[in-house]
Every structure is written in structure tokens, then in C-alpha cells.
Amino acid sequence: MIDPNFAKLRDGAQLAYRLHPGSGKARLVLIHALAMNGAFWHEMLPSLLAHASVITLDCRGHGASSKSPGPYSVEQFADDVADLLSHVGWERAAVAGASMGGCIAQAFAGRHPARLAGLGLIDTTAGYGEAAKPAWEERGQKALAQGMESMIDFQLSRWVTPEFRAAMPPSLQQAVAIFTANAPENFLEICRMLGNADCHALLAGISAPTAVIVGEEDYATPVAAAQHLAANISGATLHILPKMRHFTVLECPGLVAEKLAEILTV
């Protein structure tokens, strides 16, 4: 992987990113899932670069980006994306995110609509609900007390199908390594951020072309959550990928890239 560049954010933090020049005039920013980094999208890049230039980033608290202390919010992370666009000189871009990244992408759509050319929401939700906050806190506290390695079996069962897990291809090995490299302190704060995230009120105001993508067997952000997104965003398309779980980006990257291509308007 190429070494990252860095954008200075409004609060002085540094955001690591990689710019991948592609074909055509479309531009796309990809926002990764919880405890991943920009490498999360590696398997999809060849397909996407046939349609657009692509930026992959390490969200605040992840990868090579600043590990600024919490609390965090999806609104703050959305503003980080806006600052990144300004840094690279992109006035507008399509923005797509998976899981946590999808929550951030929705917040970006609400806070920076003039900069949004298209929206991709992959294996995500508009919000986990008040009842989910204790579970998010428990997850973060376990990582803090027992280390990130203690979470792997739980995560793998949610991320991918048993068959993909048994095969343990390089992309999944890399995801495990990225996950365990996270600082538990930052992981706890981001778990809290997701427990507090609520983008429901933003959906009706989204007018950019939107693709909603979900694995049929995703029980982290289930099909019902994707259906809610598609039903409440005007003109959104819904793609349910058979037999897939939460990390469709890893398990069927070509298919996800194909569905994302529909939002890549200039």
C-alpha cells in the first residue's frame, strides 16, 4: 500500500488519506467500518477506479490518523471528511461508507449537502437506538479490560459467513490485524459514538443519488435497517446481497463496487 498523505483538520488533528487517480471525472470518498482503516477497501479499488478517482482515509482515532481523545461524534467525523475534501481541492464528491462509515456518510449528507454528489450506504443504519447504548458500552469496556484480541471471535462471526471465515483469505487476515492494532481507549470512545449516533431526521433531506447495500444475513445492521434507509431517502435503491453478512466489502467486493457505480455521477 502507498504511504498516506495527511490533511490538517480544523482542530489541528491530522487525517491520513490516500488519493487513487482513476478513470473519468467522478470522485468518490470511502469511509471504513469501526476499527478498520483505509485498507478496508483494497479489494474494491480496481473496480471503482474504472469509474472514478477515489480517496480512502483513516478516520480520526484509527490507523495513521490522529488519536485525539474523545468524546467523538459522527458529526465531527463528517466535518473531518469535509475538511479533507477542501484539502485536496475537491468541491464535491460521492461519499460511501460501510457500517460506522455509513453513519458518518449520512451525517456528511446532512451537514454538507452541497458537497455531496452521491451517497453509498453499505451494511449500516441510521441509528442503533437508545436501547443499544449499554451494549456498545459493554463492547468498548471489554476491549479496554481484556484487549482487542478478546473481541475477535465475536467480530468474525458478525463480519463474514462461516465459509469465508474458514478459508481466512488474506483480506480477512488483514482485517483481523487492523482490528487488533487499535488502541482500546479509542475503540471505547468510538463505540460510545455509535451508541449515540442518530441520523434518522436527516434522511428525508437527502437528494443525492443513493445506493443502499446490505448482506442478507447481516445481523449487525440487518436488512430491516437498510430497508428503512431506502424507504426514507428519496429515490434510493436497495440491494440485498444473498447469503452475505456484515462485511460485504470483504466478502464480495466486486459486487459491492458494481452497486456503488450507480452513484458515480459527475
Please write the tens of the pLDDT for every residue from 210-261. Answer: 999 999 999 999 999 999 999 999 999 999 999 999 999 999 999 999 999 9
Which of 106, 110, 115, 63 lies closest to 84, judged by CA?
115
Q: What is the mean pLDDT of residues 147-167?
A: 97
Name the pLDDT band for 265 (thresholds 50, 70, 90): confident
DSSP for 49-93, written as a single string: TTTEEEEEE--TTSTTS----S---HHHHHHHHHHHHHHHT-S-E
Please report which residue ranges of the chain form alpha helices under DSSP H: 45-48, 74-88, 100-111, 133-146, 152-159, 162-167, 170-180, 184-196, 223-232, 248-251, 253-260
Which of 56, 1, 65 lies closest to 29, judged by CA?
56
CA distance 55 to 12: 21
Q: What is the pTM of this model?
A: 0.98
Residue 31, helix vs strand vs coil: strand
Q: Any idea where the domains of the chain sit in the sequence? A: 5-128+197-263
Per residue in 171-193, pLDDT tens? 999 999 999 999 999 999 999 99
φ, ψ (nearest 5 deg) of residue 66: -60, 140
CA torsion sign for 192, 19, 221, 198 is positive
Per residue in 75-106, pLDDT tens? 999 999 999 999 999 999 999 999 999 999 99
Please list, residue by residue across 26-57, b when 16 or more beta carbons sit within 10 angstroms of its beta carbon and e when fewer do: bbbbbbbbbbbbbbbbbbbbebbbebbbbbbb
CATH architecture of 5-128+197-263: 3-Layer(aba) Sandwich (3.40)
Which pLDDT score, from 0 to 100, does residue 168 have?
A: 95
Give 55's strand partners: 19, 29
Q: What is the mean pLDDT of residues 146-151?
A: 97
Asked whether 132 and 179 are in contact (CB, 8 A), the reply is no
Residue 234, helix vs strand vs coil: coil
φ, ψ (nearest 5 deg) of residue 254: -65, -40
Asked whether 32 and 101 are in contact (CB, 8 A), the reply is yes
Q: What is the mean pLDDT of residues 1-22?
A: 94
Listed range (194-198, 202-206, 262-266) with the worst mean pLDDT: 262-266
| pLDDT above 80 (res 60) | yes
Which of 105, 149, 122, 115 lies closest to 41, judged by CA?
122
Asked whether 27 and 265 are in contact (CB, 8 A), the reply is no
Which pLDDT score, from 0 to 100, does residue 1 have?
A: 66
Which pLDDT score, from 0 to 100, does residue 102 have?
A: 98
Name the pLDDT band for 117 (thresholds 50, 70, 90): very high
Name the pLDDT band for 2 (thresholds 50, 70, 90): confident
Which pLDDT score, from 0 to 100, does residue 266 have?
A: 61
| pLDDT above 90 (res 62) | yes
